Copies of this chain bind each other. A is one copy, B any other.
Amino acid sequence: MTNPTAAMLVIGDEILSGRTRDSNMHFLARQLTDRGITLGEVRIVSDDHDRIVGALDDLRARYDHVFTSGGIGPTHDDITADAVAAAFGAMLDIRDDARAVLAAHYERTGLELNASRLRMARIPEGAELIENPVSAAPGFTLGNVHVMAGVPAVFEAMAVSVLSRIAGGQALYSQSLTIQRGEGEIASDLATLAKAHPDLSIGCYPFQRDGVFGATVVVRGAEKTQVDAVLVRLGVLFPEAIA
């Protein structure tokens, strides 16, 4: 059985201009890995209708799930719902269930449910709402696309809610070793190990700390015994390695 696959689409000029540093991607990547869902690709595009539709069409055809982040607020640059509806050829309008969620929230907080805020009740036909326990305005799932907010606290709450209802896979077992040698010293042995264990993913991630080059070797696989066997072999090859 192969694991489900996923892609993420981050929508936001503020990330591309360097004004904001994205954190949703890192959060989602960890959540998916823990659940045995393989994140195969991430795209970040600007607040541009055609670019969003193009990326959605490409990604939803190639991955089991697409998670989007950003562009579902009340302002003029929030165009994600329009783009998702266009990609699916679905009608987009204010929906009673979403309006009811917003009305209850704004009544509770004493704020007005004005025309701008009502934009957040525009949900494509056929979509299922994603609960937003932080600020009420819901996300939605349409087909295999899960549309979530960009504000990290809201994104994270929505992601946990969506992930609780989709099927995961077998989380890969993973071990890592840090070796205080340049990659070039260990590359040949790693290549031999990778060739001998085609079912495992053996990654080598170089780093530089205080002017010293080293590498972290990460071994991942479905079978614990196989992963551990490679780990032991690495320990023999590089006795100075630190688990």
- The residues of A with any CB-CB pair to B shorter than 8 Å are 13-22, 25-26, 28-33, 39-47, 51, 73-77, 111, 114-117, 119-120, 134-135, 150-151, 153-154, 182-188, 190-191, 194-195, 201-208, 213, 218, 220
Contact B207 A151 (CB under 8 A): yes
Contact B194 A76 (CB under 8 A): yes
Cα distance A183–B75 when bound, in Å?
7
Cα distance A27–B116 when bound, in Å?
34
Cα distance A26–B16 when bound, in Å?
8
Residues in B with CB closer than 8 Å to A31 are 18
Kindly report how many copies of this chain are found in the complex they form together.
2
Residues in B with CB closer than 8 Å to A195 are 76
- Interchain nearest-CB distance for A210 vs B (Å): 12
Q: Given A16-B40, A205-B14, does the pair A116, B153 have CB atoms closer than 8 Å?
A: no
Contact B204 A73 (CB under 8 A): yes
A76, closest chain B residue (CB): B191
Residues in B with CB closer than 8 Å to A203 are 13-14, 47, 77
Cα distance A31–B191 when bound, in Å?
36
Residues in B with CB closer than 8 Å to A202 are 76-77
